[in-house]
Structures are given as C-alpha cells and as structure tokens.
Amino acid sequence: MIIIIIILEKRVSLAEKIRSMTRQRRMILQELQKMTTHPTADQVYDMVRKKLPRISLATVYRNLDLLAQDGLIRKLGTAGAQMRFDGNPVDHHHIRCTRCHRVDDLPAGTVMVKDKGVGERTGYRIAGLHLEYNGLCPECQTEMQKTRV
C-alpha cells in the first residue's frame, strides 16, 4: 500500500492545474475566513488593503473568482448572469444552468422545505424564500460531450 501525503503550504490545487498561493491570494482567503459577514468584493478589497496597501481591486476580483473555482470560498448570488423575470408570481422554485444561464421551473412537488423558527432565530422579519438548484441543462450536457471527447 502506498500512502501519499500532500502538504498544502505553498500551493493549492483542487483541480488538475496547480496554482501558486501568492501573498495576495492567501491574504484574501484569510481575511474572508475571519469575517462572519458576507462581504462584497470592494469590502474585501478594503480589508485586505490594510495589510497589503498596494493590492489592486482587479486582483481581488480575480482571486475571489479563482478561490471560488477551487472550492475554498463561495460566491453568493447568480454569478455573471443578468436578472431574469417570471410571469408567474405564484410560489415555485427554479433550476438554473451554470453554463448557459437558462432558468427552468421546478415541477411542483419535487421539493419540500421544512423550517422551524427561522424568524425567531435570526431576528429577521421573513418575507419569503427562494430555492434554486443549479447544474447542467440537457442541451449543455450534450454540448459538453462534443467538446470533451
């Protein structure tokens, strides 16, 4: 039996391509991990700038993206997609294609959400909720196969 131990001190790779862990990238990750809030890119920029005053906003955006790709952080909100509108105001959920950004309705009865005391435990006055699945739509699945081989 062969055991391989990989110590990630200088480099990070959850995908096949290895990418170097730069001072900037590490700092962005660290600062973000400290915060319990969910900052915007420019808020991250402001935090990181206190330690690395010469960092560029573009570097922050670039690295937030790469860190999310590597699964070290998460992006909240519908990335890179423009707003979409629904002619049906009745409550129902959706599924969104991560590749072509298409949005479909989830057939009624496919999901059940049970919550207990969300308002009480968060202090929010709840107005609604939205559940969104994401993945590859049928069309994009076949498209992907063509290019992959």
Q: Quick check: 105 binds Mn ion (CB under 5 A)?
A: yes
Q: Quick check: 100 binds a second copy (CB under 8 A)?
A: no
Q: Which of 1, 2, 5, 83 binds DNA (CB under 7 A)?
A: 83
Q: Quick check: 51 binds a second copy (CB under 8 A)?
A: no
Q: Which residues pair with 20 in a beta bridge?
A: 11
Residue type, 23: R
Minimal distance, residue 37 CB to Mn ion, in Å: 9
Q: How far is residue 81's CA from residue 73's CA, in Å, rounded to a whole number?
A: 19
Q: Quick check: 137 binds Zn ion (CB under 5 A)?
A: yes
Minimal distance, residue 53 CB to DNA, in Å: 9
Cβ 100 vs Cβ 137: under 8 Å: yes
Q: Which of 2, 127, 146, 148 binds a second copy (CB under 8 A)?
A: 127
Minimal distance, residue 130 CB to Mn ion, in Å: 10
Joined together, the tokens standing for residue 43 give 């808020």
Minimal distance, residue 51 CB to DNA, in Å: 11
Cβ 70 vs Cβ 12: under 8 Å: yes
Q: Which residues of 14-49 are buried (b: 16+ CB within 10 A; e: fewer)?
A: eeeeebeeeebbebbbebbeeeeeeeeeeebbebbb
User: Which positions touch DNA (CB under 7 A)?
Assistant: 10-11, 18-25, 40-42, 52, 54-59, 61-63, 65, 79-80, 82-83
